Amino acid sequence: MSDNVPFEIQIEIIKRLHVKPLVRCRSVSKSWKSIIDSSDFIANYHLCNTQLQHRLLARYVDSEEYRSNIENGKYVSIVDDDSFPRQKSPLIVPSDVTLLGSLPDIIGSSQGVLCLCDIYDAFDDEAHLCDTMTFVLWNPTIRKSINIVVSNVINKGEFETVVGFGVCPRNGGHKIRKKNLILSFDMTTEEFTEIDLPNNLAYLRNGDLSLSTLYTSLVVVETKYVAEAEYCVWRMEQGVPNLFTRLFVIKSPCVSLQIQAVHDFRKTGEPIIEMFLDTDDAQNAVFVYEPESEEISDIGLAGFGLSCLAKSYIETLVLLDK
C-alpha cells in the first residue's frame, strides 16, 4: 500500500478484510503485524465486523480406517452460506488436539474458538473424575491452539463438575467455568445468573438435556424416550431465565434412520443432527433438519459408530495474540 496513504486509513482498510487475508497481511510490514496482533485490534475487529464467515466443523472416522484399527478422527470445515454444504475443506489438526485422544469431546464453541477435552481419559480406575483435566482451545481459522489445565474437578456420588466454555467478545479472554447448577455467565461483568427451567425440564437427568444457541438466544434440547428417542427444542424468550417456548420436535423419519443427537444449529437456524444408518458398516452420518418441512438433508459426511460430531463456529482472530 502506498506510503502516501496515512497509516490510520491503511488500518481502516485492512480491518474490513476477512480473517484469512487479514492474517496474511501480517507479513507485509512490522507495523501492520504489530497492529493486527494487538489485543485492541482483535477485540475491535470482532465487535465492528458484522459479516464474519460462518462455518461448520465436522468430525468423523472413516469406516475403512476403523477396520484397520486407525481411529484418528478427520476434521472438515464447511462454509455455512448459500452454497452449504458444497464448500468443504480438510482441517489441519494441531498436536494439542491429537494428544487428547482419537475422539475428544467438543465442550463448546464461542467467538470462533472450540474447547475440546477427552472426558474418558479424565477418569481414574474407580470411574471418578481425576483432580485435573486438560482442555484445548482451538481456533481452526488461524490454526492456533493452547492448552489449559483445570483443577478440582470431581464426579463422586451426588457431586458432579459441569464444565461450560465462553470467550469474552470485548477482550477475547476465555473462560472455563465449573458449576453444579445451570447458570448463565456474563463474560463482561463476570456475574452469574441462575437459569430457572420450566418444571418439565428442571428435573430431567443431565444426559437428557443439552444447551446451545440459536441466533442470540439460549436453546435447550430435551431428549425424550417414547417408542423411540425424539428431541424437543426449547428457546429462552427475550432473555427471561424462566420463559421458554417449545419451537419444534425432531423425530426419526424411519426405523433405518435413527437420530442419535442434536449437535448444534446452522447460521439459518436449522438443527445439525447425527443419525444412525442401518447399514453393514454401522455408520452414523451428519444431516440438517428443516423444521417447517420436516425434511432431513444429508451433508455428505459419514463415519463409523459415534465418531461423527458437528459444531458451528465463525472465523475470528481470537488467540492470535496468545
Residue pair 229/255 in contact by the 8 Å Cβ criterion: no
Q: At 195, which amino acid appears?
A: I
d(CA 275, CA 282): 11
237-249: average pLDDT = 81
d(CA 271, CA 259): 12
Q: Which of 212-216's residues contact partners 24+ apart within 8 Å by CB, and which partners?
A: 212/262, 212/264, 212/265, 213/265, 214/247, 214/265, 214/269, 215/269
pLDDT confidence of residue 64: 66
161-178: average pLDDT = 62
pLDDT in tens, 52-89: 899 999 998 876 665 555 567 889 999 999 999 999 99
Selected residue with higher pLDDT from 25 and 43: 25
Has residue 26 got a pLDDT over 80? yes
Name the pLDDT band for 180 (thresholds 50, 70, 90): very low
278-300: average pLDDT = 86
The closest of 260, 271, 264 to 311, measured between CA atoms, is 264
Selected residue with higher pLDDT from 128 and 287: 287
d(CA 235, CA 50): 23
Q: Is 187 helix (H, G, I), strand (E, B) or coil?
A: coil
d(CA 104, CA 121): 9
pLDDT confidence of residue 126: 52
pLDDT confidence of residue 258: 84
Q: Where on the phi/psi map is residue 300: left (φ > 0), alpha (ψ -120 to 50), or beta?
A: left
- Within 10 angstroms of residue 30's Cβ, the number of other Cβ atoms is 9
pLDDT in tens, 136-164: 999 999 999 999 887 766 555 555 566 67
Has residue 2 got a pLDDT over 70? no
Residue pair 78/319 in contact by the 8 Å Cβ criterion: no
Q: Is 63 helix (H, G, I), strand (E, B) or coil?
A: helix
Q: What is the pTM of this model?
A: 0.83
182-206: average pLDDT = 69
pLDDT confidence of residue 288: 95
Residue pair 177/164 in contact by the 8 Å Cβ criterion: yes
pLDDT confidence of residue 53: 92
Has residue 259 got a pLDDT over 80? yes
Selected residue with higher pLDDT from 71 and 316: 316
Cell of 228: 423411540
d(CA 285, CA 297): 11
d(CA 139, CA 150): 19
d(CA 143, CA 145): 7
Name the pLDDT band for 113 (thresholds 50, 70, 90): very high
Query: What sign has the CA pseudo-torsion 32, 35, 38, 41?
Result: negative
Q: At 312, which amino acid appears?
A: S
Cell of 130: 481425576
- Within 10 angstroms of residue 295's Cβ, the number of other Cβ atoms is 12
